[in-house]
Structure 1
Amino acid sequence: MSLQDVEAKINAVVEKKPELSEKVTAKLEKILNDLENLSVDDGEKTGFDKVHAGFDKFKTKVYNKNTELTEKLKTGQWPKLMIVACSDSRVCPTQIFKLAPGDAFIVRNVANMVPAYEAEGNPSVGSAVEYAVLHLKVDHIFVVGHRACGGIGALVKMCPDDGEYKTTFIENWCQIGKPARALVKEAHKDESVEDLCKYCEKESVNNSLKNLLSYPFVVDAVKEGKITLHGGYYDHIEGTFEKWDFEA
């Protein structure tokens, strides 16, 4: 019997017996969720096996079930939140914050970096910020760092001040965080490299928030009270999260 058959039978029971208590209904839903998780994770499945199974689950549990949201999103998007997060596979913001489709406009890159404004610079992050602020008119921009970030590790351990980089892209990108590294090294001169990385993971978030204020349209929106900036730090090892507001 397939997972879809099991779900159909459970849904049939719930529909035919509306007198079932909330406790029983919740138990049936938990059983189904457990089976769905097994269907994705059981065995030696590849990434694309999980993509296929995951989409089937999304189609059943979200797309087909929440038709009001699905129909609304067919005509556009109106997120109130922009998130800048790391590309690290362990720190997906939609999972951590349990976001639904349409909730957030998200940019992910190595070490959740926001470069300073340059009219002729790399447009990748800048175009996303511009679109979020001027067109989507988000209310909040949230930069989220995390523990054991490989990009911050590269910043602390690999990026020389003279720019003699050993990699083609990584160090050149992570040098955006050099101001954060300088502050951390000055404030924690006798700390271990591991501790410097932890401090820098948080300070780099503040550095990206400062860089956001080099974008003229962000400055205008902040001055007009249309946007607030926030920082966050997810410790996936301890299972904790910190959030702070950034004072412009």
Structure 2
Amino acid sequence: MSEFLALLRGYGRFRSNGYRDQHRRWETLAAGQEPPVMIIGCCDSRVDPATIFDTVPGQAFILRNVANLVPPFELGGGLHGVSAALEFAVTKLEVKHIVIMGHGACGGISAALAGHGEPDRIFIDKWIGLLDRARDQVLEAAPQDPQHALELEGVKVSLANLRTFPFVAEREAAGQLQLHGCWFGIAAGTLYELDEQAGHFQPVPEDA
């Protein structure tokens, strides 16, 4: 109960500070949202995009899942939570930017490197199967740190899969939508941005 109580106490602080300081913004947001940015991040408790990017309410439409993955466009199969959120953000909210944010020490990436077949992984194995090809390429290249290498490659996989959605590709080609890749180092608190032309991640200046 103490862990849940800590959440309720946090709500109390929000009401006393955050809500009070921005109550007019909250009143405006009650009428609707127009976030300019969508962030697709990992559900890892250590990498909250709102904290890392110091956003205000209504600034970012955030989707979080295991290993910050985007599946490729397809119409069959089961339920499509990521695809539905992406469709809503792009076609209804008309976001101008989509950010894929990977991070260090990602458990989903560790699971992808470990391979498939663990009996208690009913859903995770299929999900992280999105990284099978990238994992094989990373292991073949034999980098000094396969975990870090696959975390970076995972961001690139999600960016490539984003472009398989027609409504994303059309808007990017028209200059209405920009895609970005980032990686966050937990221990150092450092954010890196992907230069897609060069294929490398560079640290983001603190005064960017």
1:118 corresponds to:
74
5 Å-filtered alignment, 1:126-141, equals: 126-141=83-98
Residue type matched to 2:156 in 1? N
Asked if 2 retains the 8 angstrom alpha-carbon contact of 1:180 and 1:203, the reply is yes
| Matching residue within 5, 11, 18 for 1:55 | 11
Q: CA deviation at 1:238?
A: 2.4
2:162 corresponds to:
212
Asked if 2 retains the 8 angstrom alpha-carbon contact of 1:140 and 1:228, the reply is yes
In structure 2, distance between residues paired with 1:141 and 1:97: 14
2:25 corresponds to:
69
Normalized against structure 1, the TM-score is what?
Answer: 0.75
| Matching residue within 69, 75, 100 for 1:143 | 100
1:13 corresponds to:
none
| Larger proportion of strand | 2
Residue type matched to 1:125 in 2? V
| Matching residue within 63, 66, 69 for 1:107 | 63
In structure 1, distance between residues paired with 2:173 and 2:13: 43
**Aligned residue pairs, count:** 195
In structure 1, distance between residues paired with 2:80 and 2:139: 30
In structure 1, distance between residues paired with 2:195 and 2:162: 14
In structure 2, distance between residues paired with 1:181 and 1:67: 47
Q: CA deviation at 1:224?
A: 1.1
In structure 2, distance between residues paired with 1:46 and 1:242: 36
| Matching residue within 234, 240, 243 for 2:184 | 234
Q: List per-residue Cα deviations over 1:25-77 (Å, max 9, x = no partner).
A: xxxxxxxxxxxxxxxxxxxx832112111111111212222132112101000
In structure 1, distance between residues paired with 2:135 and 2:2: 38
2:132 corresponds to:
178
In structure 2, distance between residues paired with 1:118 and 1:245: 28
In structure 2, distance between residues paired with 1:92 and 1:151: 16
Give me the identity figure in percent: 38
Rg comparison, structure with higher value: 1
* 99-108 or 238-247, which deviates more: 238-247
In structure 1, distance between residues paired with 2:104 and 2:38: 21
| Larger proportion of helix | 1
1:90 counterpart SS class: coil
In structure 1, distance between residues paired with 2:10 and 2:99: 27
Name the CA shift for 1:61/1:245 in 2 (closer, same or farther; >3 Å): farther
Q: CA deviation at 1:245?
A: 4.9
Unaligned runs of at least 5 residues, structure 1: 1-44
1:244 counterpart SS class: strand
In structure 2, distance between residues paired with 1:52 and 1:227: 38
In structure 2, distance between residues paired with 1:220 and 1:183: 29
In structure 2, distance between residues paired with 1:211 and 1:46: 41
In structure 2, distance between residues paired with 1:46 and 1:96: 26
Confirm whether residue 198 of structure 1 aligns to residue 148 of structure 2.
yes
**Aligned Cα root-mean-square deviation (Å):** 1.6
Q: Which has the higher contact order (CA 8 A, sep 6+)?
A: 2
